[in-house]
Structure 1
Amino acid sequence: MRFHTRKWVKPEDLNANGTLFGGRLLEWIDEEAAIYAIIQLENQKVVTKYMSEIDFKSSARQGDIVEIGIEVVKFGSASLVLSSEVRNKMTRETIITISNIVMVNIGPNGKALAHGKTEIEYVADRL
């Protein structure tokens, strides 16, 4: 799994228990998955269709730095299935895992559009 993004847990990210609010963490994961899919599919019109079971394994506290990992599970004809793990950057303790996040490539008419991709591409390889 490649960890692309780091986030610093700030006071506005906390829940009433003083730990990272799960909704904020899911927002960060959704944004990371969308950015990853946009780059892979070379289309800015990508939407989240589905997230599988969300498994919270530990919590994060104010001041922690978390890193978000994304990995391709498979390429569909109009979709990209990703998995995600978020961990504490300093301790490497896993905070959350999501096995399947389905991102769908959208065409100009707002409908799913085949993307023709079958494997991970890196920007350097496209140049």
Structure 2
Amino acid sequence: MKAKPCINSLTVRNSHVLPPDTNSHGTLFGGRLMAFIDDVGAIAATRHARMPVVTASTDSVDFLNPVYEGDTICLEAFVTWTHNTSMEIFVKAITENLLTGKRKVCTTAFLTMVAVDENGKPTKVPSVYPESEEEKWLHDGAEKRAEYRKARRDDSKMLAKKFGTSLPWNTGEEY
């Protein structure tokens, strides 16, 4: 497979934040923003792999600035690193007040997407290479982030095994 530049997977999405998208504080629901992040990340990953993808993980999502009703939200995503069947995708979300033009980064996130074949099995993806200074900076830190994700996943598996599917009051009944 031929390696591809990061920029080939660049995906940009703009949305107007309307009343159904907001909570009682007049700001974008965090879950709605997370859905936007997953959607734009999946498009970038599919664009890179040219095959279906599934979300394997989402790193922490820190809400740095609120997104108000009437603002727009612009998400930018691209593949920063690959490893066999997985891809790391960087997503940046920017809010803009359309009346004043003031823009702020409201969140950044990293997703891991895995390419799958027609049977839903992980399949190899092309490697990616950075060109800009920002892409190089993200690419250089990707392996360390991947190691952190692996350790976090191992912890999650341990918690799942320890707590299992039984009800909290230990009736033996399962969900």
Q: TM-score normalised to the size of structure 1?
A: 0.85
| Kept in 2: contact 1:3–1:67 (CA 8 A) | no
Query: Deviations along 1:46-104, whole A, 9 cap, x unmatched?
Result: 10110111111010111101100113220111011011110123322011111x20010
Residue-pair matches, total: 117
- SS of corresponding position for 1:109: coil
**Residues 55 and 97 in structure 1, CA contact (< 8 A), matched pair in contact too:** yes
Structure 2 vs 1, CA of residues 3 and 109 (structure 1 numbering), >3 Å: closer, same or farther?
Answer: closer
The residue correspondences of 1:1-127 to structure 2 (distance < 5 A) are 4-43=12-51, 45-89=52-96, 90-98=101-109, 100-115=110-125, 117-119=126-128
Q: Which has the higher strand share?
A: 1
SS of residue in 1 equivalent to 2:39: helix
Structure 2 alignment gaps of length 5 or more: 1-6, 130-175
Q: List runs of 5+ in structure 1 lacking aligned partners.
A: 121-127
Q: For residues 93 and 3 of structure 1, do their structure 2 counterparts lie closer, same or farther at Cα, with a shift above 3 Å needed?
A: farther
Aligned AA (1:17): H
Instruction: Give the Cα–Cα distance (whole angstroms) in 1 for the partners of residues 79 and 43 of structure 2.
Output: 13
Which structure would you say has the larger Rg?
2
TM-score, normalized by length of structure 2? Answer: 0.62
Q: Report which structure shows greater RCO (CA 8 Å, sep ≥6).
A: 1
Cα RMSD (Å) of the superposition?
1.7
Letter in 2 for 1:73: T
